Amino acid sequence: DMMRKVVTEGTATDLKDVPGDPVHGKTGTAEYGNDSPPRTHSWFAGFQGDLAVAVLVEDGGFGAEAAVPVAHEFFDNVN
């Protein structure tokens, strides 16, 4: 499915080797403010089996830069 491809081929490939069931997810970047370039929040939403997680890192840049490492740490600690 598309969310699995984000992990196996896309912006969240750091999560493809997390122990346990396969991780599925989506990264994102939310721009805000009037700065040029705009400031950004980093986010990741995903699941592994019946466990779901959403990560938001304020002023974190792009989704793969800040939110995916936090999600990786979360999945590592619950497996």
Mean pLDDT of 48-73: 96
Mean pLDDT of 62-66: 90
**What domain range includes position 32?**
2-78
Mean pLDDT of 51-75: 95
Residues in CB range of 13: below 8 A, 6 or more apart: 7
Indicate the pTM of the whole model.
0.93
CB burial of 40-50 (b: ≥16 within 10 Å; e: otherwise) equals bbbbbbbebee
What integer pLDDT is reported at residue 63 of this predicted model? Answer: 83
Structural domains of the chain, count:
1
What integer pLDDT is reported at residue 75 of this predicted model? Answer: 97
Give per-residue pLDDT as tens, 15-43: 999 999 999 999 999 999 999 999 999 99
